[in-house]
Amino acid sequence: MAGLFITLEGPECAGKSTQLKLLADYLTQNCWNVLCTREPGGTTLAEDIRNMLLEKRNEDIAPETELLLFAASRAQHVRQVILPHLDKGGAVICDRFIDSTTAYQGYARGLSIDFINQLNDYCVCGRNPDITLLFDLPVEETWRRLTLRSGGKGGDRMESQGNAFHTAVRNGFLQIAQQHPQRIHVLDAMQSIEDIAARVRNIVGK
Ligand SMILES: Nc1ncnc2c1ncn2[C@@H]1O[C@H](COP(=O)(O)OP(=O)(O)O)[C@@H](O)[C@H]1O
Ligand SMILES: [Mg+2]
């Protein structure tokens, strides 16, 4: 399989964006042509879909609609951006990917996980990530970091979901990791940024 495809997963504030930058630097130093991207988004159309999903006035979106919009965004992103870069032998690092859909729409919202697995397969054209880094964080720490980041007011969208939802997301991610022990590496996101970065370099270096 051409190229190197790495995805970063985990709840909000787990350090995905922080570690993505450090990993991109590491791979660049090791002579990889690195493309950093994110989901939902990554292409003009997919960013439009992202904005639709995040708009306050679309808050009454049905879970099924949300799932299909995420899938539409991914199908475009994979075909237009990810696969062409991998085919050229490059490295792609993507902030959130298929496992976020399974954790949020499947485990937390309760949509069919079998259906989501099929939909994910359909979107990725048979090119699953080579390595997935799952940053695992207790829900209380997510709240603490969110509050810090937003200067006292927790994130709106996250707040409206409540603790039960976020606990289901976390447990969902951990279950997905157990089902894909070859691909998914669970990292303790409570460690220091530098310790986590060293562990990431160790996993990816191998
Ligand atoms: N290992 C860590 N320990 C403590 N704080 C961290 C750690 N990693 C990231 N942070 C902080 O947590 C916040 C969210 O980090 P970020 O990388 O944006 O997470 P994400 O992209 O997963 O939402 C930022 O303020 C960041 O500085
Ligand atoms: Mg981020």
Q: How far is it, in rounded angstroms, from Cα 96 to Cα 39?
A: 6
Domain of residue 189: give its range.
4-205
Kindly state if the Cβ of 125 falls inside 6 Å of ligand 1: no
Query: Which residue's structure tokens are 């880094």?
Result: 133
Residues β-bridged to residue 109? none
CA 176 – CA 184 distance, rounded (Å)? 8
Q: What is the CATH number of the domain that holds 20?
A: 3.40.50.300
Q: Nearest bound ligand to CA 149?
A: 1
Q: What is the 97 CA–ligand 1 centroid distance (Å)?
A: 18
> What DSSP designation does 104 have?
I
User: Taking a C-beta distance cutoff of 8 angstroms, is the pair 85, 3 a contact?
Assistant: yes
Statement: residue 148 has pLDDT above 90: no
Is residue 195 very low, low, confident or very high in pLDDT (cuts 50, 70, 90)?
very high
Scan for tokens 């085919």, then name that residue: 87
Task: Supply the pLDDT for residue 3.
Answer: 97
Which residues are within 8 A (CB) of 14 and not within 5 positions of it... i.e. 6 or more apart? 135, 136, 137, 142, 189
pLDDT in tens, 89-128: 999 999 999 999 999 999 999 999 999 999 999 999 999 9
pTM for the full model? 0.95
Number of domains in the chain: 1
pLDDT score for 149: 81
